[in-house]
Structure 1
């Protein structure tokens, strides 16, 4: 701790805040041996002394390909745990089917880990230390990011240490993100000359003389290097002087030129059997199981006892609970590097086979296979082919790398080759590597004689081609030349129907889907039934869509493919519930869908959040809309399927005159890029609305109208029918600029789509009323919008009616409609619409009255929504986020965001303050 007084004081401060219930993040960065671990050791002692729980783990170069490994180590997640939650997480990470229908075991395990941390923090403040995050697996880092967003509401101090990291890496992005959070962020510099002298005095037993000081300057202020140099000099009896000064002997001409060399000299002091055993241990992880060490080395534990004791005494190994660990990762690396590459690869092959025969998991065996080069051994081919498929999803990147090598010629049998290739295609598909997945799948399906395998791979290739929007190729794949059993024919026919729908061959699609459904029902294949109903739901009139979706969901089971389809159908169902005005059912279904998405670990959880954001935007619950829009991870928000959520946030920001936020979202997502704009406008109505509003709020009404007119370019059919709201906005914008022909075209387009859903029928009424100048019809439409709960559209219709009534001289009617519209705009916080409505009615002498509803305050208890008040009461009772989620039957992520907003509105720094305030209120009462 020499020379680290300032840093240690900062860390003691954040530990003291943690003990008081306030979370934070600490980031310690510096070169190996600079003192990061020493500072962390001091933090853990301080935290334990004040009653905090401490959990700690390190990143590991050998394990960085295995998702959530570092986080699992920190949370003591293993199959032998007495805690059933930890057992279940460990099972998920091993690829075991711990829950029917789990889609992505990594996502499912991550959600359970976050819930576990929540519960641990509810019991006592938690210091979670993750060292060497430059070696961390990416999912662990993403989980760290999510935890860092929760430190403002739970007593969690997240401590991360790292070597200097290269730009544009995940660790570098993580550093940037966590430094935005409260806490301590330290870049550890080398020790000063004075601190180096003080440490040398302590280690050498006296003040260093001139020659010794000059030699120690080679350590560059690195405490570990300095310690290794001095301890080597002491072992070699290279120091002299019995008084207060210790000097380097004149006949000593060389010392270790580097930290690696210094550690090598330390190892030279050990016996050869111990060094040999340690080299084998170095092929394992930095923290390793003694039983695995025994198995790999071929030496019984009784023989390893002496080696362990010698290594511990020499400062090479240390105990880590029931495991052993190298005192520093540099020591492990030096030992591993002492082995020639060919020998090291051979030992890794030996270790892989030994651990596999021991029954170790994929995460223990695969790192050794990955550390080798060349063909995969025959035993490993059989091992890979015999693993449960679910284990491939637990570490798909690892699976792909091994399976690519395993499928390289020669493979002993065609059957083994096809099995391994099928697994490779599946892993590539779940990783989203569609081009490669399609190629591998087609290679196998053209040569296999197994109908089940052929059809499975054919459907996988169709889906991959569809995701790449190669619909003609996908259609060609649906034409199977083989005579397949009825269930496989039904599945293929259902997928052919969906592809036909994608290319707007709607009549053919409907006929194929109906035939597929008949075949599927006849043979009782649930997946084929689900696929067929899914296509029919897309093609059917609004009144029948939910019937098809519900029938599909009811038919499906709980295997992985069925669960994925069920999540897709659930998202479609939520959209149709919104369009049909079934608000209560939508909200109940949405809560259930979010909970289910977290449980099964589905990337489609992002789609559920997107549906929630869209519904809340339509209902005028704009704070909730922003909450849901920002819920998916940034990586998901960058995908085309979810990027439109940035447009929802931008729209709300523009409604509220927050133009910096709107500009950042629109520019960041590329929506304002002229080269890509046509694609975005054609794909997402909310993007078109946001881009048009951006032009209008900037005073470019003509530009806004041009953007809105892109609605007229959409082809007739289900896609355009789902965007009927755009017609209303286009009619108003066109009339405002005197462009009657565009307004008429918009009304004609929305009327041409044969979809009788309430949202479209109301859009037609509003368009007709604006074109006819009929305020009564607009008022009637406003009443319908109020009935369905679509408050922004209600205010829109009322405002248009007020302008028409004022133009007719009906001052009383205009004032009533204006007051109601203005009250809604104010309640929503729609500053821009408020100004616009006032400007439009001011020429008629109509202004805001004294009884106009005011906007909800931004801070204090009155600022909370009813949902937030309920959550706040449960937090005040001391419930953790998972407990609140279970009581309200909502997702844990939803609760976390509610709590964060509650604390922000109440201007509190942690949930502890809310609990204390509630307790003070009880005592006062």
Structure 2
């Protein structure tokens, strides 16, 4: 049993958290303090309390040597291993080794992360779970991101996330996680030094007597740090430097000097060990935080009996702890002292030796790379060959490390041109994977300049074209995609031609793009190249009219195979398919497709999941499911939301906030997207419709109608074509704003522009009719359009059209008709939660005597059983049966994250703190459905 001196308040708060956990309520605990201050002791005591109450306990920690290896901290905590009895753990281990990439998986890190979250969900469904993660200052970035996601789920699963960290210089991800945890209810502890009284109590227990005056003076040097105190006191006890005088323990005259620092105290402990054991421990200090005894024996060259003897001696001396074949240092400061005892050159040499030994024993990529990355300068010949021969998929399990090693190896002389080309190609592929397009393009061009393998070169050329395109350097991309050589294999020609067509499209050279894309499709079909067929259909999707786009997408999806490139393209096409379903009003198909796409992207692990979340956000906003829209947008991590292609989602959340009269949130989201800088606003407004809409609506909400109109008028600067047709909503907003500002010519120009676009989608046709009816002050036409918007379930458009119809009717003196339209518009706005729009509607109609009556409709309740949607009631029923989120996801054929969103909203609406409360109210759920 762990005995802690002092920390009574801290211990009590953590024990309260365990009591809540045992009762089914999750939570967060954050412990911060300097090395040796007692963080681990508190974690030990908390874990013991959790076990006593029947909770499951899992523990792991950050590892300074493993920071560049994604998800290794969480994998350590979940005991992920290829030797595990649990198939789920084995699969995660294979993913992290890069051994399970293919049809079922695209990005091994993302796929492993989703499966880890699923594992935590399942564990906590069976009994409350304490997940203790120490030393987060050394955690890998992917593990920290996963911690953020788990922290957002503790309100709905019995999970206590307990994290510890040293106070360190700001590190973006750690700081963001710390802020997230501290902003949420939970236990937040900053551990300071022990008081003088606590220090004396601590010392009395260790020396079995009251410390004398001389010993007290020495204890003061420890500054109240428990680890330093323990090391200091155990050193003087080992040295027999204490004498007893009537129950008072005092330093003996002439006793050895008390260790002047924590490091010195630890060094003195190590001096008690045999030279052979200390030598073996220095090797162990170069291994992972928790290391395998067999691996330790291999790198030291010792026999198993010899290494077991060293382990026993180190455990007895309090240097190592552990059980079975897994060991760890009792405190990381001990490992650091051992490592620092080695000169840098010797340490690097030992890492080189260890890398080769573990590679020869068939260890995973991360174990070999760990040691290679700890060295500098040229790699040994065996290491460059190892990198060149490694399956490509394995590079992606620790892509940043792979880039570092490949950069070093490709810059040094190697045995053959083939090895050099392989290293450069792998470097280009990994850089492209990481989104480092500038470098990827440069390295790919290097390969093109030196290789004689034309098929190999065509693959790298396409990569360079795509990288330049992602950088929006379309002229350079077109140069790279120059017409292929005639004797290039036909499937290579077809693929390259398809990408050249896409670049021409981005340069607005539509006729050339169409000709190239159709020729690429014909070439790919003639040689049966499925990937080339997919590339060609993908380009033709952007060139085709709306009714034909789905045909190209479905043809591409049907043709593509299961390799990594095809899987990536499938997910991209799926995102485009969602757009087509949205603008064509196929809501049922859209909802089913979103569920399928999210489930697939989560299981396969793809950055394309961001595209799916983006389209789910768009769809939910369009259909008036604004809470869902915000939830989908917030599913994207900070890095994705900051990317230029995804940042517009901030604008959608800002739009919802403005409609709901929350200008502060709107401004914060627009600031986060970088949209409030006047120098950049023109670029953003021209690129993204939601940004233009949000900035204009924000200006209108501030009463600056002139600024709002100026922003709306940017629609007329868009060139005719598919891009402008896809932003037809802006024409409706411009017509409305222009008429309100007495600019009928501007309104007519907008109505004419939207009518000129050839796009036959139902959405654009309805917007066109709205614009014409509003310009003509045709109240009947507006009411008809409002009814049609309602038929398509485009609720925001319906509400806006009803508002304009009410205003036109009032202007024309038809107050009875105006009151009817007003009541319908008010109900529509309130049902969306659009309180700002409702207030605007009332202000516009008040001068005509049209007001909200005593029986005016009220919006749907925000809280209570009546606030639940049918989908939420269904999910609540399954939760009440005791099902975990992954089980519910499988039952409903949706993604686990979608279920988590539903559960979180159910708990919020019902003002419940945990799913246990939901289970306890199963009868009420049945009544809610009835």
TM-score range for the pair, normalised by the shorter chain length:
over 0.9
Partner in structure 1 of residue 895 of structure 2:
891
Aligned to 1:24: 27
Within a 5 Å distance, the mapping from 1:72-221 to structure 2 comes to 72-97=75-100, 100=103, 102-221=105-224
Matched, 1:235 2:238: yes
Structure 1 distance, partners of 2:516, 2:750, is 33
Matched, 1:310 2:310: no
Q: In structure 2, how many angstroms separate the alpha carbons of the residues matched to 1:730 and 1:188?
A: 58
Does the aligned pair in 1 maintain the 2:91–2:100 contact within 8 Å? no
Aligned to 1:666: 670
Aligned to 1:300: 303
Q: Normalising by the residue count of structure 1, what TM-score does the alignment of the two structures yield?
A: 0.98
1:99 is displaced (CA, Å) by 5.0
Q: Could you tell me how far apart the structure 2 residues matched to 1:38 and 1:245 are?
A: 27
Residue 404 of structure 1 aligns with which residue?
407
Q: Which residue of 1 aligns with 2:417?
A: 414
Q: Distance in 2 between matches of 1:777 and 1:7?
A: 68
Alpha-carbon spacing, 1:481–1:779, altered in 2? closer, same or farther (3 Å): closer
Moved more, 24-33 or 118-127: 24-33
1:816 is matched with which residue?
820
Partner of 2:711: 707
CA contact (8 A) 1:727 1:746 kept: yes
* Aligned residue number for residue 538 of structure 2: 534
Residue of structure 1 in register with 2:683 after alignment: 679
1:104, CA displacement in angstroms?
1.1
Asked if residue 459 in structure 1 is aligned to residue 457 in structure 2, the reply is no
Are 1:506 and 2:503 counterparts? no
- 1:825 alignment partner, SS class: helix
Q: Output one character per residue of 1:207-250: Cα deviation in whole Å (capped at 9) or x when no partner.
A: 11111111111111111111111111112222222421111123
**Cα distance in 1 for residues equivalent to 2:178 and 2:733:** 44
Task: Tell me whether 1:386 sits opposite 2:389 in the alignment.
Answer: yes
Kindly indicate whether the alpha-carbon contact (under 8 Å) linking 1:352 and 1:368 is maintained by their aligned counterparts in 2. Answer: yes
Supply the distance in 1 between the matched residues of 2:311 and 2:19 (Cα, whole angstroms).
Answer: 37
For 2:844 and 2:9, how far apart are their aligned partners in 1? 62
Unaligned runs of 5+ in 2: none
List per-residue Cα deviations over 1:515-555 (Å, max 9, x = no partner): 11111111111111111111111111111111111111111
Q: What is the match of residue 625 of structure 1?
A: 629
Relative to structure 1, the CA distance from residue 653 to residue 357 in structure 2 (aligned partners, 3 Å threshold; closer, same or farther) is: same
Using the alignment, how far apart are the partners of 1:706 and 1:476 within structure 2? Answer: 38
Partners of 1:586 and 1:48 lie apart in 2 by: 46
Q: Contact conserved, 2:102 with 2:563, CA < 8 A, in 1? A: no
CA deviation after TM superposition for structure 1 residue 481, in Å: 5.7
Alignment partner of 1:609 out of 613, 621, 631: 613
**Which residues in structure 2 correspond to 1:814-853 (within 5 Å)?**
814-853=818-857
Q: Tell me the residue number matched to 1:395.
A: 398
1:768-847 correspondence runs (5 A):
768-847=772-851
C-alpha separation in 2, matches of 1:823 and 1:920: 28
Moved more, 63-72 or 203-212: 203-212
Residue matched to 2:431? 428
- Offset of 1:850 from its aligned partner? 4.8
- Give the distance between the partners of 1:574 and 1:707, measured in 2 at CA: 28
2:760 is aligned with 1:753:
no
Q: 1:576 offset after TM fit, Å? A: 0.9
2:576 maps to which of 559, 568, 572: 572
Cα distance in 1 for partners of 2:908, 2:601 equals 27
* Whole-Å separation in 1 of the counterparts to 2:170 and 2:125: 36
Pick aligned residue for 2:73 from 49, 56, 70 = 70
- Whether 1:469 and 2:476 are equivalent positions in the alignment is no
How many angstroms apart in 2 are the aligned matches of 1:339 and 1:114?
Answer: 40
1:275 aligns with 2:278: yes
* Deviation, structure 1 residue 330: 1.0
Maintained 8 Å contact 2:873/2:925: no
1:101, CA displacement in angstroms?
5.0
1:919 positional shift:
6.3
Secondary structure of 1:504's aligned partner:
coil
> What's the secondary structure of 1:241's corresponding residue?
strand
| Secondary structure, counterpart of 2:789 in structure 1 | helix
Deviations 1:326-356 (A, max 9, x none): 1111111111221221111111111111100
Match of 2:698 among 694, 701, 706: 694
Q: For 1:272 and 1:66, how far apart are their aligned partners in 2?
A: 33
**Distance in 2 (alpha carbons) for counterparts of 1:822 and 1:47:** 53
3-state DSSP class of the match of 1:446?
helix
d(CA) in 1 for partners of 2:804, 2:185: 48
The 5 A counterparts of 1:492-503 are 492-503=496-507
CA contact (8 A) 1:165 1:172 kept: no
Q: 1:136–1:921: structure 2 CA closer, same or farther, 3 Å change rule?
A: closer
Task: State the Cα deviation string for residues 87-146 of structure 1 (Å, max 9, x = none).
Answer: 111111100125515221101100111011001000000000111111111100110010
Q: In structure 1, the residue corresponding to 2:450 is in which secondary structure?
A: coil
Retained in 2: the 8 A contact 1:21–1:125? yes
Q: For 1:321 and 1:718, how far apart are their aligned partners in 2?
A: 65
Task: Give 1:253 deviation, angstroms.
Answer: 6.1
Aligned to 2:720: 716
1:648 corresponds to which of 642, 649, 652: 652
Contact 1:166 1:172 in 2 (8 A): no
CA contact (8 A) 2:241 2:256 kept: no
Distance 1:921 1:813 in 2: 41
Verify the 8 A CA contact 1:829 1:855 in the aligned structure 2.
yes
- What is the match of residue 13 of structure 1? 16
**Alignment correspondent of 1:266:** 269
Return the alpha-carbon distance in structure 2 between the equivalents of residues 922 and 623 of structure 1. Answer: 24
1:871/1:899 contact within 8 Å kept: yes
Task: Tell me if structure 2 keeps the 8 A contact 1:33–1:222.
Answer: yes
8 Å Cα contact 2:484/2:496 also seen in 1: no
Q: Quickly say closer, same or farther: Cα 1:321–1:893, change in 2 above 3 A.
A: farther
- Residues 287, 320 of structure 1: 8 Å contact kept: no
For 1:837 and 1:4, locate their aligned partners in 2 and report how far apart those are by CA, in whole Å: 59
Contact (CA 8 Å) 1:165, 1:171: kept in 2 or not?
Answer: no
Structure 2 counterparts to residues 549-560 of structure 1, below 5 A: 549-560=553-564
Structure 2 CA distance for aligned equivalents of residues 837 and 305 of structure 1: 80
Separation of aligned partners in 2, 1:612 and 1:835:
29
CA distance in 1 between counterparts of 2:431 and 2:324 reads 38
Deviations 1:449-493 (A, max 9, x none): 112210111011001101111100000011156431000000110
Q: Is the 8 A contact 1:826 1:834 kept in 2?
A: yes
Q: Helix, strand or coil: the match of 1:603?
A: coil
Deviation at 1:812, TM superposition (A): 3.1
- Provide the secondary structure at the position in 2 that maps to 1:890: coil
State the 1:839 CA deviation. 2.4
2:564 aligned with 1:545, yes or no? no
Q: Residues 54 and 126 of structure 1 are in contact (CA less than 8 Å); yes or no, is this contact kept in structure 2?
A: yes
Q: Which runs of 5+ in 1 are unaligned?
A: none
User: How much does 1:62 deviate?
Assistant: 1.1
How far apart in 1 are the matches of 2:5 and 2:356? Answer: 46
Q: Displacement of 1:841 after TM fit? A: 2.4
Give the direction of change, closer, same or farther, for the CA distance of 1:92–1:459 in structure 2 (3 Å limit). Answer: same
Deviates more, 1:173-182 or 1:568-577: 173-182
Conserved? CA contact 2:716–2:750, under 8 Å:
yes
Q: Deviations over 1:657-682 (max 9, x none)?
A: 12221122122222221011111111
